[in-house]
Amino acid sequence: MSQTRHVPVMLQRCLDLLAPALEASEPQHPVVVDCTLGLGGHSEALLSTFPSARLIALDRDKEALRLSGERLAPYGDRATLVHAVYDELPEVLARLGVPKVQGVLFDLGVSSMQLDEADRGFAYAQDAPLDMRMDQTTGVSAAEVLNTYPPGELVRILRAYGEEKQAKRIVSAIVREREKEPFSNSARLVELIRDALPQAAKRTGGNPAKRTFQALRIEVNGELAVLERAIPAAVRSLAVGGRIAVLSYHSLEDRLVKQVFAAGAATTAPPGLPVVPERYQPRLKLLTRGAELPTEEEVAENRRAAPARLRGAERIREDER
């Protein structure tokens, strides 16, 4: 598979957001963490744009690590690639003896490689085994979720993670079909969803299976639970003056990021104090007004950028001990 076709989303804007922290004179060799290495597009740009920076990059997908390892080989020991899920960032930094970092980047969602490799089962456009695990060495597959979860739990997942209004209809059809024969491949699920939806629901919003596939992927990989731990951990790992940029692709992820950043940027003082003591002062300064969106030109060039939302923040104070 070619590595050139992957276009990193909102790349220049991410670099601009992180630049002040990675170009500062102290420390001499700033550390930047790419928490979602994927095919290494953002990582390669970070290494080439900031020649004094050291990169630590995480991915739970061993195939992504292998391919990115080849891509980043020219940068030698400036790049350290680690097989880990991004909520393991504190342990990874402790193991590498890195107390604080100057930059953190998250590009959430599925990497292009996982979508493009048919046999991974992420894409609804082609028939494949219903797997969807980002780390294929561990955890339950999408097929197991479909075949074993109680109906009420499936409805909850489709509503919460896929924002699927027709969740009950789809789950009724799934439960009926799985009793005849367990699910194993994506094409059967796509067909079932098409048949289950009323005509009006099929006319809007692209492939009718899109929301269900998103919901299954988030459940299989525990993405929101991981993110809930990962964003606060990443903020805590930043040195004062360090910056974090997060690209998310649906409202649930974006809401989580927004909440963590907003809490960090708020004062925690009891109301009515004439002067706010240092320990109650905000820890973060927001760098984006709300969430920034990709430009129309970028979406025209790279349709995967369309749902992207970018938020950035800068660490302005240490936590009080």
* Interval 68-122: pLDDT, tens: 999 999 999 999 999 999 999 999 999 999 999 999 999 986 654 444 455 555 5
**Cβ 235 vs Cβ 259: under 8 Å:** no
What pLDDT was estimated at residue 113? 46
Residues 6+ apart with CB under 8 A from 157: 145, 149, 215, 216, 218, 219
Report the distance separating Cα 294 and Cα 149, nearest Å. 37
What's the pLDDT band for 42 if we cut at 50, 70, 90?
Answer: very high
**Cβ 239 vs Cβ 102: under 8 Å:** yes
CA distances from 57 to 54, 65, 184 (A): 10, 9, 33
Q: What is the pTM of this model?
A: 0.83
What pLDDT was estimated at residue 122? 55
Give the sign of the dihedral formed by CA 8, CA 112, CA 246, CA 30. negative
DSSP string, 111-143: -HHHHH-GGG---SSS--BS---SSTTSS--HH
DSSP β-bridge partners for residue 104: 33, 244
For the CA atoms of 110, 116, 117, 123, what is the dihedral angle to 10 degrees?
70
Residues 6+ apart with CB under 8 A from 264: 235, 282, 283, 284, 313
Answer yes or no: is pLDDT of 2 > 50. Answer: no
